């Protein structure tokens, strides 16, 4: 199958590209390399340097390649950045998504798989674990942009004769992330690797649903032929606090360090756990990686296998 992955050189996108190639699919990566890297990609993946906010270049890339399925991962993903500059956030996440949809419609794309955000589109939900029918009440501009993206995809796919699947990710972690993502696990590990103090914002008792990047990639793979016109939570179905994550990372890394305490980030939610039973039922997907195993693999990637083995015996 001819697939196109926007943002495919980035953290999550590169894991999706890897899963697609391993399954025998053709892949074109469209990325502006603002946060991604060519080094994340296997040689079999085709690459085109394009920004999704550049309407003409995006249309040209789609027209030349003519993908059957587009996996739209490119986005501005920082909640704090969306709060400080909501216009830039909407230009990338809303206008960029509209550019992608236009290019896909003109190129005769069959299906769009959209990376939405289970951690932000629901805001502070009344019930946990959160099901897909929970009202979408985001409390950050980033969450608003993802809700808008879901609606634009639903409406414009109908207009262009395309089908779609929205995947609402939990907090994704794993290898190839970068400090600029401000993801807590990555931030902790980069601080430890530099010999500096990790920062814990709020009181550290905020508790989220964390899902391993390779498991997210598999969900996208399963959505190629399933889950049409549906939205799915993609998470672990459990939650863990930032304080507990910090303790586990220190144990795995064999370090004793006192964290710096900082204020709450604007737009952050207190807790969320995603009910992923719909994905299990309709996509035949469930997370295959326990948090302990995923965290160990992540620590090994950033700090080195020997250091982790020595710390854990």
Shared domain check, 93 and 224:
yes
Question: Catalytic pick from 142, 173, 210, 212?
Answer: 142
Q: pLDDT tens digits, the chain, 313 residues: what are they?
A: 999 999 999 999 999 999 999 999 999 999 999 999 999 999 999 999 999 999 999 999 999 999 999 999 999 999 999 999 999 999 999 999 999 999 999 999 999 999 999 999 999 998 999 999 999 999 999 999 999 999 999 999 999 999 999 999 999 999 999 999 999 999 999 999 999 999 999 999 999 999 999 999 999 999 999 999 999 999 999 999 999 999 999 999 999 999 999 999 888 999 999 999 999 999 999 999 999 999 999 999 999 865 664 544 4
Q: CA–CA separation, 180 vs 161, rounded Å?
A: 37
Shared domain check, 158 and 186:
no
Count CB-CB contacts under 10 A for residue 309. Answer: 13
Task: For tokens 């103090």, name the residue.
Answer: 197
Shared domain check, 198 and 116:
no
- 142 among known catalytic residues: yes
Beta bridge partners of 168: 116, 233
In a domain, 130, yes or no: yes
Among candidate residues 199, 237, 242, 231, the one with its CA nearest the CA of residue 215: 237
Q: CA–CA separation, 100 vs 59, rounded Å?
A: 8
Shared domain check, 78 and 8:
yes
Q: Domain containing 250: what range?
A: 174-208+237-268+289-312
Shared domain check, 119 and 180:
no
Q: How many domains does the chain have?
A: 2
SS3 (DSSP) at 20: helix
What would the two tokens of residue 167 be? 């995947």
Burial degree of 240 (CB within 10 A; 0-12, 13-18, 19+): middle
Among candidate residues 33, 225, 4, the one with its CA nearest the CA of residue 103: 4
- How far separated are the first and last CA of the chain, in Å rounded? 44
Shared domain check, 132 and 118:
yes
């Amino acid at each position: 199958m001819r697939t196109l992955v926007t943002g495919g050189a980035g953290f999550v996108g590169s894991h999706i590209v890897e899963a697609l190639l391993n399954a025998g699919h053709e892949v074109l990566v469209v990325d502006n390399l603002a946060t991604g890297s060519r080094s994340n990609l296997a040689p079999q993946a085709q690459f085109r340097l394009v920004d999704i906010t550049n309407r003409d270049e995006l249309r040209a890339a789609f027209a030349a390649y003519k993908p059957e399925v587009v996996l739209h991962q490119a986005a501005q993903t920082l909640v704090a950045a969306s709060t400080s500059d909501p216009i830039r956030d909407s230009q990338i996440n809303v206008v960029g998504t509209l550019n992608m949809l236009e290019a896909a419609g003109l190129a005769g794309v069959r299906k769009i798989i959209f990376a939405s955000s289970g951690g932000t589109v629901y805001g502070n939900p009344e019930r946990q674990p959160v099901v897909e029918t929970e009202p979408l009440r985001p409390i950050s501009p980033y969450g608003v942009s993802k809700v808008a993206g879901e609606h634009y995809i639903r409406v414009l796919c109908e207009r262009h004769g395309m089908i779609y699947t929205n995947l609402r990710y939990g907090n994704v972690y794993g290898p190839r992330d970068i400090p600029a993502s401000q993801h807590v696990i990555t931030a902790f590990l980069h601080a430890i690797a530099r010999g500096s103090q990790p920062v814990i914002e709020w009181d550290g008792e905020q508790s989220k649903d964390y899902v391993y990047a390779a498991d997210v990639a598999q969900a996208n793979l399963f959505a190629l032929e399933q889950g049409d016109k549906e939205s799915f939570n993609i998470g672990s179905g459990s939650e863990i606090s930032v304080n507990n994550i910090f303790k586990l990372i220190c144990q795995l890394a064999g370090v004793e360090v006192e964290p710096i305490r900082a204020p709450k980030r604007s737009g952050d939610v207190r807790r969320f756990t995603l009910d992923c039973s719909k994905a299990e039922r309709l996509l035949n997907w469930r997370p295959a990686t326990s948090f302990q195993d995923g965290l160990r693999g992540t620590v090994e990637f950033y700090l080195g296998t020997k250091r982790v083995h020595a710390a854990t015996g």
